[in-house]
Amino acid sequence: MPVAEQVCPHCGASTRKLKGKRPRDVKFGAAQHHRVTATYLQRRYKCQECNHTFIEKNPFVCRYLRLSKTNMEYLFRQLGEKGSYTEMAKRSDVSVSTVILYCSKLAIPRPTQLPTVLGIDEYKGNAEGQMYQVIITDLNSHSIVDILPKRDTQALIQYFKTFSKEAREQVKYIVMDMSPLFRLVVQTMFPHAHIVADRYHVCRLVDWALERVKLLKILHISDDLRRAYGLRLAFRKIFKIYSIPNIERYIQLWLKAVESSHLPEFSNFKVSFISWFPQIVNAFVLAYSNGFAEGCNNNIKVLKRISYGLRHFERFRVRILLLSKKNSTSYLNS
């Protein structure tokens, strides 16, 4: 920084008198996967009125901090985007705990207004000892009004009490799934609003009832179906069994049940169960499955759609492998 007139932060007098300079390492974050650090020679000035010394004004970095002002702005911007703390820490060249510290410095005040059409719902968040958290939405603008830490009657009533009576009277419709807890809260705090049961929730209840009727009817009309259903239920219990000898014994028992069921559809694969016995035991001993590859296949489908199909196999292969690697620079050297 050039020598320039400075204003003393203690008494407001102007000065150009230097007191010395000191190098500071400033982190500018990662650019194109390389960390950028610059050394800034920071001047100290001395006020000739009050004798205090102070550092010069600069556009790079705040007092006591090690990351640059632009990097800090970038970090705050990243907090508003998708991505993990680890990724943000890497991009800003700081530790994960610094990212978390900056995130906890942010405070978003509670809203003071409520929407005309309000949605209230819960989600399983497991935050701070509470299994369920509550989400309040504006169903006209499709935006989130607020997130509440606790799903309990008292906490919800306390929350809505913080809004003025006028703000609460703004709400004309409140949509919820068929939760007695939410209805009680809403009837207490919004006596004039119309409560709407979420239509998909209602339909799902009807669908489930239908499924149960279908299942019972089917099981009722046919011994074979009943036995097949029993075999299927029994087989799924294998997930609750641990250790190789127990799983082996369980599969043997289950195959005996298959045999006595006299269901040809089940007996037909008995041969493959016996020929694949050790490998099938492994399927339930080890938690490995091809679920990962199936997830990749989904990414591949997307890539196929956005590139030009599979015509050039090698290029397509490169893109798939690059996409799946976090650090892909090693491919360039070979």
Q: Which stretch in 2-10, 87-95, 127-135, 225-233 sits in contact with Zn ion by CB under 5 A?
A: 2-10
Considering only 1, 3, 10, 295, the residue that binds Zn ion (CB under 5 A) is 10
Contacting Zn ion within 50-109 (CB under 5 A): 50, 52
8 is an interface residue for Zn ion by CB under 5 A: yes
- The percent of the chain in helix, strand and coil, each rounded to the nearest 5, is 50, 20, 30
> Pairing mode, if any, of strands 14-15 and 6-7?
antiparallel
Angstrom distance (rounded) from CA 195 to CA 175: 6
**Min CB(52)–Zn ion separation in Å:** 5
The residues, any chain, with a CB within 8 Å of residue 73's CB and separated by 6 or more, are none
Is 118 a binding residue for Zn ion by CB under 5 A? The answer is no
Which residues 6+ apart lie within 8 Å of 176 measured at CB? 119, 120, 121, 182, 183, 186, 195, 196, 197, 198
47 or 148: whose CB is closer to Zn ion? Answer: 47
Q: Which residue in 172, 143, 142, 146 sits closest to 159, CA to CA?
A: 146
Binding mask 16-55 for Zn ion (x = CB under 5 A): -------------------------------x-xx-x---
Q: How far is the CB of 22 from Zn ion (least distance, A)?
A: 20
Backbone φ, ψ for residue 4 (5° rounding): -145, 160
Minimum CB–partner distance for residue 57 and Zn ion (Å): 15
Give CA–CA dist 174/193, Å, rounded: 7
Residue entry with tokens 């060249």: 93
Q: Which is nearer to Zn ion, 11 or 274 (CB)?
A: 11
Which residues in 167-186 contact Zn ion (CB under 5 A)? none
Please state the closest distance from residue 59 (CB atom) to Zn ion, in A. Answer: 23
Number of residues that bind Zn ion (CB under 5 A): 8
Whole-number minimum distance, CB 40 to Zn ion, in Å?
24
Instruction: State the nearest-atom distance from the C-beta of 53 to Zn ion, in Å.
Output: 9
Three-state SS for 70?
helix
Could you list the residues that contact Zn ion (CB under 5 A)? 8, 10-11, 13, 47, 49-50, 52
